[in-house]
Amino acid sequence: MEIGVGMFGDIASPLVSGKPASAGQRIQELIREIQYCDEVGLDVFAMGEHHRQDYAVAVPNIILAAAAGITQHIRLSTGVTVLSSFDPVLLYEEFAAIDLISKGRAEIMVGRGSFIESFPLYGYSLSDYDGLFEEKLDLLLKINREDPVSWSGKYRAPLDKQKVFPRAFQPELPVWVAVGGTPASVERAARLGLPLIVAIIGGQPEQYKPLFEYYKELYTRHGHPPEQMQIGIHAHTFAGEDNEEVARKYFPYYAAQMNNIGRDRGWPPYTREQFDYGRSMAGHLLVGDANLVAEKILQLKEIGSLTRFIAHLDVGGPDHKDMMKAIEILGTKVLPQLKHG
């Protein structure tokens, strides 16, 4: 099982951090954090896309390109690219460049998008939410596998024996499909034989087990080799030296961001009781020391037959030094337990 880190580039609320919010500072910290993920031996880093004031990263491709030149081993992925509002030709070209810089470490993780700010920003209609994704995924996969490419669809001008340059270092860029629990999205990934990653950001992970079984059944039913199946989980995580101390320090950041998002979506205020239940063995949060985090990852591995786990570390924008400590613990204490213990 691969172990990685995911981030969205959250900017901490000044009311929590006591510091002025700065996208520039957060991006500088992000680059160092990605480099450190590589240094401590983690397998993959995934960078999210958001178009909001409380996030520093709107175009993860730029961050990953910067990281490609200062890392040696770690795989570099989006997490996610909102494909419905992005041009597949441009996406392939940018990631081919990242793949060439990194000598074959680039990946693309695509999703329909839980956040929808990119649709009006880039001139797309939310009424085409699913149709745009289906069509653009088809084009991206065709570009990835064929050269030249001929294609036509509803939402974009056709391509007629068009060559797309540069070509990636890898024969094909790995393309993962990220889902939040919608069976139709799982069916699409299985039908196409694409790796699946499920974001578990609430509730009880055990409830997602039927979704993973559904994917595995459909994947093999559509004739894809079982030995090539890849399944991942993305979950909110934070690691420290002491269970209670890390929870105490991390809760204000986590709650502030849950409330930022919740105000837009009509959620009630986030409570410490919710946080503590999430940290229990039945809950979705992996917040604690190395032993607790490793134990919960192994629990998730059994639920989903995982080949990859992505620890989403920066919800709420915790302090950089605490982020670096969490990365250190994941690489030096959690990873050895999972791979060698």
Provide the pLDDT for residue 114: 81
Which residue shows structure tokens 């134990």? 295
Tell how strand 308-312 and strand 2-7 pair up: parallel
Q: What is the DSSP letter of 307?
A: S
What is the model's pTM?
Answer: 0.97
Position 126 pLDDT exceeds 80: yes
Superfamily name with CATH number, domain 2-340: Luciferase-like domain (3.20.20.30)
Match 């695509």 to its residue by tokens.
110
Cis bond upstream, residue 226 (ω within 30): no
What element of type H or E holds 211? helix 209-221
Region of residue 335 (phi > 0: left; psi between -120 and 50: alpha; otherwise: beta): alpha
Write the pLDDT tens digit of every residue in 161-194: 999 999 999 999 999 999 998 999 999 999 999 9
Identify whether the C-beta of residue 322 lies closer than 8 Å to the C-beta of residue 240: yes
Distance CA 157, CA 177 (A): 24
State mean pLDDT over 78-105.
98
Cα–Cα distance, 173 to 196 (Å, whole number): 15
pLDDT digits (tens, 9 = 90+) for 234-266: 999 999 999 999 999 999 999 999 999 999 899
What lies within 8 Å, CB to CB, of 14 at 6+ separation is 20, 21
Question: Is pLDDT of 341 > 60?
Answer: no
